[in-house]
């Protein structure tokens, strides 16, 4: 068991600092207090969310952008891990893991790789600095601060900036990648302890681990490798907390431990491109308009006009009839003309932008358990047949993530009564720092978790079920999505998978369980 989290002396927003520790893909119901004692101690001595949500789609860089901007994909513009943006690159494809692709999109859009201001830019406008360290893709780190790159340590790239090569050299040689990636986790931790924490100008520090996501993808939910990755993340959190105590800055530092999405065991592999080829075979050659796919999305083929609803109808009817297809979505103007199609905008808090796809497809999920007795499977849309688990769908197992908050700003030993989500991070961080929240944010300040009684939440959660605008034809599956609304903020709880309900995904226990740790 980790050391008890101490009671915090009060400190003003003027000297307050914030550390965000991200464990990519860490599903909240998988946190075992015996396996992750430091994280369990943070939860027990702080505030946590029992119902924390990713934005949909549950891709990493989509959610990183939501965390960094406080907005939904329909507003921030990173709508998938891989997007089709005609004219932005030679082949029109944007791989958001690749910082050069993001830079190309930034140039193409006139400096708006993100269509909403990011945390790094907002802090810089107030004379403060964001520092980022991580073991994931360059793109996932860059999206926190695409235009202010003086403090980014990433184990995969230096973003072609000489100063960042120098920054990495201060930490020594970068270890070779491994699964679980324990050595690179330690490298990123050293960046925070040795370079970032001693400098008070770093008002917000983001430390983002690609684990347990990488091990989950390769070895699956509940595997020994993924459990070892969770242990490595917990040990890293312990090292950081020890460093805060040694430096005597624990009482000015709020720690937010979170993840960006959950995971589901893959029970079937297919790609949307393969599905379109199959659809044209079934419907007849020339039956489909010119289309292209990326991730879980269908786009007009670059250089061709968007097809009419009448031209898309045969494909939509085919998709809704497939046993692996759960939801078909489209911008509302198109959804209103097609049977069985849900509008995108309600999932994106009422927003849409020109990077949105023509159609989006979310595959079927189940509560079935895998070989390690972990529930949640999905008929994944992926080209990577070696993956054991994945994310991206509207399954509630993908949509639920972890949020634990501990520090002088947060209440102790409580579980928040309201749903929360990725878009809430930015407004909460800025409020803690005493900085104004820019207009046009979709998230809310998590007042119910804060000590300040003047910020008690005024809103209650309202649940809503969203179905297709028009019923599907021929008795095809009519998918539905469950939403929470708190004030003007929307959280996507999960597709019903045909069951009529989306399950509750438990938050981590506040105190350690007794019994076998199953290590």
Residues 6-63 have pLDDT tens digits of 445 555 666 899 999 999 999 999 999 999 999 999 999 999 999 999 999 999 999 9
Q: At residue 495, does pLDDT exceed 50?
A: yes
End-to-end CA distance of the chain: 15
Q: At residue 235, does pLDDT exceed 90?
A: yes
| Mean pLDDT, the chain, integer | 92
pLDDT tier at 383 (50, 70, 90 boundaries)? low
pLDDT tier at 489 (50, 70, 90 boundaries)? very high
The set of residues, in sequence order, having a beta carbon less than 8 Å from that of 111 and lying 6+ positions away, is 147
**Cβ atoms 316, 340 nearer than 8 A:** yes
CB hemisphere CA count around 146 (13 angstroms): 29
Tell me the two tokens of residue 268: 């079937």
> What are the DSSP E strand ranges found in 39-125?
47-49, 52-53, 82-84, 93-95
CB hemisphere CA count around 466 (13 angstroms): 28
Report the pLDDT value the prediction gives residue 4, as an integer from 0 to 100.
Answer: 46
Q: Say how far residue 356 (Cα) sits from the centre of its chain.
A: 18
Report the pLDDT value the prediction gives residue 474, as an integer from 0 to 100.
Answer: 80
Proportion of the chain above pLDDT 70, given as a percent: 91
Lowest pLDDT segment from 88-102, 245-259, 497-511: 497-511
Average pLDDT score over residue span 165-174: 91
Domain locations in the chain?
17-264+393-446, 266-367+463-495
Q: 């990713």: which residue's tokens?
A: 54
The C-alpha atoms of residue 71 and residue 489 are separated, in whole angstroms, by: 10
> What are the DSSP E strand ranges found in 284-333?
291-294, 297-300, 325-330
Report the pLDDT value the prediction gives residue 43, as an integer from 0 to 100.
Answer: 96
The C-alpha atoms of residue 151 and residue 130 are separated, in whole angstroms, by: 7
> What are the DSSP E strand ranges found in 93-151?
93-95, 129-134
Q: At residue 506, does pLDDT exceed 60?
A: no
Q: 């083929």: which residue's tokens?
A: 301
Report strand pairing: 253-258 vs 403-406: antiparallel
Helix (H, G, I), strand (E, B) or coil at 44: helix
Q: Which residues pair with 484 in a beta bridge?
A: 463, 491
Tell me the two tokens of residue 200: 């008070």
The set of residues, in sequence order, having a beta carbon less than 8 Å from that of 110 and lying 6+ positions away, is none
User: If one looks up domain 17-264+393-446 in CATH, what number appears?
Assistant: 3.40.720.10
Tell me the two tokens of residue 149: 């790159």
pLDDT single digits (tens) 281-295:
999 999 999 999 999
| Sheet with strand 481-486: strands edge to edge | 461-466, 481-486, 489-495
Report the pLDDT value the prediction gives residue 11, as an integer from 0 to 100.
Answer: 54
Within a 10 A sphere around the Cβ of 182, how many other Cβ atoms? 18
Report the pLDDT value the prediction gives residue 14, as an integer from 0 to 100.
Answer: 67
> How many Å is the maximal CA-CA distance in the chain?
71
**Cβ atoms 342, 468 nearer than 8 A:** yes
pLDDT tier at 341 (50, 70, 90 boundaries)? very high
Q: Which residues pair with 133 in a beta bridge?
A: 153, 207
Q: At residue 517, does pLDDT exceed 80?
A: no
Q: At residue 86, does pLDDT exceed 90?
A: yes
The C-alpha atoms of residue 410 and residue 59 are separated, in whole angstroms, by: 29
pLDDT single digits (tens) 437-482:
999 999 999 999 999 867 766 789 999 999 999 999 887 777 899 9
pLDDT single digits (tens) 261-311:
999 999 887 899 999 999 999 999 999 999 999 999 999 999 999 999 999
**Cβ atoms 55, 81 nearer than 8 A:** no
The set of residues, in sequence order, having a beta carbon less than 8 Å from that of 340 and lying 6+ positions away, is 316, 317, 320, 328, 468, 470, 471, 472, 473, 476, 477, 478, 479
pLDDT tier at 142 (50, 70, 90 boundaries)? very high
**Among residues 371, 24, 91, 355, which one has the least CA distance to residue 220?**
371
**Cβ atoms 338, 304 nearer than 8 A:** no
Report the pLDDT value the prediction gives residue 110, as an integer from 0 to 100.
Answer: 98
The set of residues, in sequence order, having a beta carbon less than 8 Å from that of 170 and lying 6+ positions away, is 194, 195
* Angle, vertex CA 210, rays to CA 66 and CA 438, nearest 5: 20
Proportion of the chain above pLDDT 90, given as a percent: 86
Give the alpha-carbon dihedral of 114, 119, 121, 123, to 10 degrees.
170
């Amino acid at each position: 068991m980790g050391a008890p989290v101490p009671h915090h002396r009060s400190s003003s927003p003027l000297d307050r600092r914030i550390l965000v520790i991200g464990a990519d893909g860490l599903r909240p119901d998988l946190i075992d207090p015996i396996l992750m004692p430091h994280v369990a101690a943070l939860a027990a001595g702080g505030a946590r969310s029992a119902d924390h949500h990713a934005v949909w789609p549950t891709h990493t860089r989509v959610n990183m952008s939501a965390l960094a901007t406080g907005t939904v994909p329909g507003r921030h513009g990173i709508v998938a891990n891989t997007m089709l943006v005609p004219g932005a690159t030679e082949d029109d494809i944007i791989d958001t893991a690749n910082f050069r692709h993001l830079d190309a999109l930034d140039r193409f859009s006139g400096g708006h790789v993100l269509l909403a201001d990011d945390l790094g830019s907002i802090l810089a406008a107030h004379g403060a600095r964001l520092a980022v360290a991580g073991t994931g893709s360059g793109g996932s780190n860059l999206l926190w601060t695409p235009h202010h790159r003086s403090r980014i340590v990433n184990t995969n790239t230096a973003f072609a900036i000489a100063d960042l090569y120098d920054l990495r050299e201060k930490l020594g040689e970068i270890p070779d990648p491994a699964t679980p990636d324990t050595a690179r986790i330690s490298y990123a931790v050293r960046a925070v302890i040795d370079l970032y924490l001693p400098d008070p100008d770093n008002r917000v520090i983001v430390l983002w681990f690609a684990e347990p996501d990488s091990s989950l993808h390769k070895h699956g939910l509940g595997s020994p490798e993924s459990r070892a990755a969770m242990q490595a993340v917990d040990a890293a959190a312990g090292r950081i907390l020890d460093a805060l105590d040694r430096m005597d800055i624990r009482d000015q530092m709020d720690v937010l431990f979170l993840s960006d999405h959950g995971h589901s065991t893959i029970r079937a592999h297919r790609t949307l491109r393969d599905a379109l080829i199959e659809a044209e075979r079934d419907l007849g050659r020339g039956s489909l308009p010119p289309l292209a796919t990326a991730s879980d999305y269908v786009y007009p083929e670059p250089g061709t006009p968007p097809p009419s609803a009448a031209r898309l109808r045969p494909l939509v009817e085919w998709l809704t009839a497939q046993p692996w297809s759960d939801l078909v979505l489209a911008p509302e103007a198109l959804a209103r003309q097609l049977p069985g199609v849900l509008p995108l905008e309600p999932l994106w808090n009422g927003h849409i932008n020109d990077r949105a796809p023509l159609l989006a497809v979310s595959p079927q999920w189940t509560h079935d358990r895998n070989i390690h007795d972990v529930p949640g499977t999905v008929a994944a849309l992926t080209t990577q047949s070696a993956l054991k688990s994945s994310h991206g769908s509207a399954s509630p197992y993908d949509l639920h993530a972890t949020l634990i908050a501990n520090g002088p700003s947060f209440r102790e030993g409580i579980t928040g009564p309201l749903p929360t989500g990725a878009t809430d991070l930015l407004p909460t961080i800025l409020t803690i720092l005493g900085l104004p929240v820019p207009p046009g944010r979709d998230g809310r300040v998590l007042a119910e978790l804060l000590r300040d009684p003047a910020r008690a939440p005024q809103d209650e959660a309202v649940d809503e079920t969203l179905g297709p605008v028009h019923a599907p034809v021929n008795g095809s599956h009519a998918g539905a999505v469950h939403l929470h609304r708190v004030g003007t903020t929307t959280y996507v709880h999960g597709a019903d998978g045909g069951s009529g309900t989306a399950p509750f995904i438990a938050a981590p226990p506040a105190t350690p369980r007794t019994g076998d740790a199953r290590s």
